[in-house]
Amino acid sequence: MPMELQTFRTNGNDERVTASNGDSVVDMPDGAAAAAETDGLLQMQSNGCNGGAMPANHAAKIQRDPEITNNTKESCVYRVRRELTEVVCESKSAKCKITLWMIIALVISLIVVVIIISVAVCSAIHKDPDESFDPSLFKVPVYFDGSFQLPNLVFTDELLTLSSNESQALATGFQEKLADLYRSSPALGRYFSKAKINSFRNGPVMADYQLNFLIPEEGQDQLRNFTLSREMVYNVFRQFLYDQEPNESEPMYIDPVSLKMVVRH
């Protein structure tokens, strides 16, 4: 690897001196070059300590007294140390000494603590605008009608008359099931008002149901088109039915394929 050779002049001497890696000195006339080299090293160190950029041609500049660069390195480290351990205030009674580095450490840790606290507070007091709503504004009704099949149910005449005990119990069961399902829906829950079983029919056993929702007047068109669209209300029901385990003996089992729904206008 060829090294870049630096040439510099010795004190007052016009002889050219070539140094390779600072180790060998060629054409040295009287030892002055060696002195110059030592100066060069010292100069370099003092520059490094001050944090300044080391000039490339520093060697050319040191045509000076060697005493100039005396002990600069030591004094620099020493000064920083001395300043850090400087006693800022002294209390005689408590025998405590507050030094500069203590204050610096304190300030830094304070900043970190403030950041952590503010982040914690921020996330704690953060209010999700989607979770706050005013139910008193929900006035406009939206209705859905539909039917589903109950394949595990054996039809009895009692079911036909809605006032009978059997059909009453069954209707209440389904109404609760529907209400639970829609109330727990993140998107539809707040608008849900009522689910009702209107009648049972024969054939395979069918149930006719009705869903009532209440929505605010403001932005009702968008709600009808998206959140309370037939697609949404229907599929929330449908995916609930698909999620249930098909149980042959469960009388309340609803056949997912048989689910029908329309919007009442």
Cα 90 to its chain centre, rounded Å, is 45
Tell which one of 99, 152, 227, 258 touches other proteins (CB under 8 A): 227
How many contiguous H segments (helices) and E segments (strands) does the chain have? Answer: 8, 9
Q: How far is the CB of 245 from other proteins (least distance, A)?
A: 11
Residues in Cβ contact with 14 at an 8 Å cutoff, skipping those fewer than 6 apart: none
Tell which one of 70, 226, 246, 247 touches other proteins (CB under 8 A): 226
Q: How far is the CB of 8 from other proteins (least distance, A)?
A: 37
Q: Which residue has the tokens 């002049």?
A: 9
CA neighbor of 140 nearest in space, from 214, 81, 202: 214
104 interacts with other proteins by CB under 8 A: no
Tell which one of 123, 136, 163, 249 touches other proteins (CB under 8 A): 123
Q: In what order do the strands lie in the sheet with 138-149?
A: 192-201, 206-216, 138-149, 260-264
201 interacts with other proteins by CB under 8 A: no
Cα 186 to its chain centre, rounded Å, is 23
Q: How far is the CB of 162 from other proteins (least distance, A)?
A: 31
3-class secondary structure, 100: helix
- The residue count for binding other proteins (CB under 8 A) is 26
Residues in Cβ contact with 205 at an 8 Å cutoff, skipping those fewer than 6 apart: 149, 150, 151, 153, 154, 155, 159
45 interacts with other proteins by CB under 8 A: no
Q: What sign does the dihedral 227-228-234-239 (CA atoms) show?
A: positive
Q: How far is the CB of 109 from other proteins (least distance, A)?
A: 19
Contact pattern from residue 156 through residue 195 relative to other proteins, giving x for each residue in contact according to CB under 8 A and a dash for the rest: -----------------------------xxxx-------
128 interacts with other proteins by CB under 8 A: yes
> What whole-number distance in Å separates Cα of residue 68 and Cα of residue 58?
14
Q: Which is nearer to other proteins, 14 or 130 (CB)?
A: 130
Q: How far is the CB of 152 from other proteins (least distance, A)?
A: 21
Contact pattern from residue 229 through residue 248 relative to other proteins, giving x for each residue in contact according to CB under 8 A and a dash for the rest: xxxx-xxx-xx--xx-----
Q: Do 161 and 181 touch, CB atoms closer than 8 A?
A: no
Q: How far is the CB of 233 from other proteins (least distance, A)?
A: 9
Q: Which residues bind other proteins (CB under 8 A)?
A: 119, 122-123, 126, 128-130, 185-188, 222, 225-227, 229-232, 234-236, 238-239, 242-243
